[in-house]
Amino acid sequence: MLRTHTCGQLTSKNVGEKVTLCGWVERVRDMGQSQFIVLRDRYGKSQLVMPPDASEELRQVIGSLKQEFVISASGTVDLRPTGQANSNMSTGEIEINLSQVTILNECKTPPFLPSSPDVPSEEARLEFRFLDLRRETMQKAIILRGLMTKKIRDYFADNDFIDIETPILGRSTPEGARDYLVPSRVHPGQFYALPQSPQIYKQLMMIAGYDRYVQVARCFRDEDLRADRQPEFTQLDMEMSFVEEDDIMGIIDGLMKKLAKEILKIDLKLPLPRLSYDEAMRRFGHDAPDLRYGLEIIDCTDWARYVDFRVFRAAAEAGNFVRALNVKGASESFSRKRIDELTTFVQGDYGAKGLAWMRFDANGWGGPIAKNFNESQLAELTKIADVESGDVLLFIADGWDASCRALHGLRRRLGADLKLYDPNAMNFSWVVRFPMFARDEEENRWAAMHHPFTAPLTEDLPNLESAPGAVRAKAYDLVINGFEAGGGTIRIHDNETQQKVFGLLGMSPEEAEHRFGFLLQALRYGAPPHGGIALGIDRLVMLFAGLDNIRDCVTFPKTTRAQDLMTDAPNRVDEKQLKELGIAIRERQS
């Protein structure tokens, strides 16, 4: 080994030892007779000192050092002079009295310094990712990711799960996002697809008798990207046989308790709280609500049917909804300009028609719509919305989906702006009993809310053909701080029900056989009741690390245009490769 210790390892216990460290020069300070070097590796930092009696050769080498040079440094461990210890460094009690420095590699002037507190631009970070990964915040996130993955694997091994790999090259079964396709040279004109998830394979493993499967799986989806989404990602994939929803959620409850305790030093109370999908939408307007704070949606629709304000009454009479948020104690801080900003926000980002508002303070009710209500109506509203002096009511009058979108967005905005929660707090919950189907109006058919292999609730089975919109699924999502951290379902395990669901989704028996014939065949050969879940590893790390972008916990991520700026991928390939695959490039018609 070129080094005897790492840069974060030495303490006062090592005083007097001769050591050799290797790493990157973070900075050099010239103090006249002595020069100080801070050397960094992923374990920490150490201070190196050139002694006053250093040789001319050593002085020349140290004098030539620049930031981010890679060096080997040998010397003796000494205590720092009295009063000069640095409590911000794990090695802050000691310094290395240098006897030799060897430059292992120089560094040209970098576009940004990993040690700088200023965060570089997103483009620079992605183009020079190898430099960005040297930054302390990035190293902490990547190290945490490795630690979490190990703890996850250990947990499932302790619970008798079998770690099983499934294929990367498989069959294209277009459902949901677009597949990434891989052309076959051996079979010209035919393609593999990269897995969007190991969903079908893990179901086949249940049918094969491997009743506890787990995998840290790579998945690929050709879809529009956001801050918390990548075209390729890693998920914890788990499946169990002879189980119901409580069994799956119980296993994940245990995993979250372990991770929270060992990483965040938080003792979670189990079982984690559960909300039905209907309750989540009614109270928070979203199926992944942030429960770190209240600010729940108040339904004022019944009240609005009898008021004199035409906008509210017309909305209620038309079958739409009048719903509100009560922003406690905001009457003094919410200026007309602030209200206008929030109105523009819900209109521009969430397509709301507008934002009505009233305030209640020592002078009574105020605001542009307050004059439209009589005393009796305002008194009733006070009870419905639990209004106290200083409160501001923000109203959306629209359809159910539109009001949910706008009020959810407004709730998130206000939660952050008004600091209604501790940003370091963690809240874990489940949302359960999702609708089985959603209506695809463009194609005039039903679409699966989760995926087409989801089992309906037993009590809703009679409605499967007569009233699909009323059928609820054996589905459950893990929600952390307002993010969907994972989702799963109990699967359909009999061929007849699976065929019915395919039919409701607009698939003829022939098409279903063509797309999923291998699964349908397996279901005819003794499939056990089974179910599972997939958790996003990238998103879990993001949440546990307190980050707001999964690119900060992925080593080499893509941009929102699915590009790798460092390697310049995707890129053109040689004509020879295309000919071998039987592919010709044709310009896409606009």
What mean pLDDT comes out for the span 29-56? 91
CB 383 within 8 A of CB 360: no
Mean of per-residue pLDDT scores for the chain: 94
Minimum mean pLDDT among 251-260, 355-364, 429-438, 502-511: which range? 502-511
Per residue in 107-123, pLDDT (tens digit) is: 999 999 999 999 999 99
Please check the confidence at residue 289 and state whether its pLDDT lies above 90: yes
CB 198 within 8 A of CB 215: yes
CA-to-CA distance for 431 and 166, rounded, in angstroms? 29
- Tell me what pLDDT residue 450 has: 86
pLDDT confidence of 30, banded at 50, 70, 90? confident
- Tell me what pLDDT residue 444 has: 80
What mean pLDDT comes out for the span 169-179? 82
Minimum mean pLDDT among 257-266, 280-289, 514-523: which range? 514-523
Assigned CATH topology for domain 139-275+429-554: BirA Bifunctional Protein; domain 2 (3.30.930)
Please check the confidence at residue 175 and state whether its pLDDT lies above 70: no
- Tell me what pLDDT residue 516 has: 87
Domain ranges of the chain: 12-105, 139-275+429-554, 293-420
Minimum mean pLDDT among 80-84, 233-237, 452-456, 513-517: which range? 513-517
Assigned CATH topology for domain 293-420: Gyrase A; domain 2 (3.30.1360)
- Tell me what pLDDT residue 449 has: 86
- Tell me what pLDDT residue 590 has: 64
Considering Cα of 252, then 547, then 110, then 8, what sign does the dihedral take?
A: negative
pLDDT confidence of 439, banded at 50, 70, 90? confident
Tokens of 412: 């998130």
What is the chain's Cα-based Rg? 30
Helix, strand, coil abundance in the chain, percent, nearest 5? 35, 25, 40
Whether a cis peptide bond, with omega within 30° of 0, leads into 452 is: no
In the chain, what percentage of residues exceed pLDDT 70? 98
> Tokens 């060096």 sit at which residue?
71
pTM for the predicted model, two decimal places: 0.93
Q: How far is CA 524 from the centre of its chain?
A: 37
Please check the confidence at residue 33 and state whether its pLDDT lies above 90: no
What mean pLDDT comes out for the span 241-254? 98
CB 535 within 8 A of CB 193: no
What mean pLDDT comes out for the span 168-181? 85
pLDDT confidence of 6, banded at 50, 70, 90? very high
Which DSSP helix (H) or strand (E) runs through 26?
strand 18-31
What mean pLDDT comes out for the span 340-350? 95
Query: Do the domains 293-420 and 139-275+429-554 match in fold?
Result: no
Please check the confidence at residue 174 and state whether its pLDDT lies above 70: no
For residue 442, with 0-12 CB atoms within 10 Å meaning exposed, 13-18 middle and 19 or more buried, which class applies? exposed
- Tell me what pLDDT residue 176 has: 66
- Which pairs with CB-CB distance under 8 Å and at least 24 residues apart come from 515-522? 515/173, 516/173, 516/200, 518/200, 518/204, 519/200, 519/203, 519/204, 519/453, 520/495, 522/203, 522/204, 522/207
In the chain, what percentage of residues exceed pLDDT 90? 87
Question: Residue type for 293, please?
Answer: Y
Phi, psi dihedral angles at 172 (to 5 degrees): -75, 120
- Tell me what pLDDT residue 482 has: 96
CB 390 within 8 A of CB 361: yes
Size (the chain), residues = 590
- Tell me what pLDDT residue 586 has: 87
Q: Which CATH number is associated with domain 12-105? A: 2.40.50.140
pLDDT confidence of 283, banded at 50, 70, 90? very high
CA-to-CA distance for 110 and 134, rounded, in angstroms? 12
Tokens of 345: 């926000």
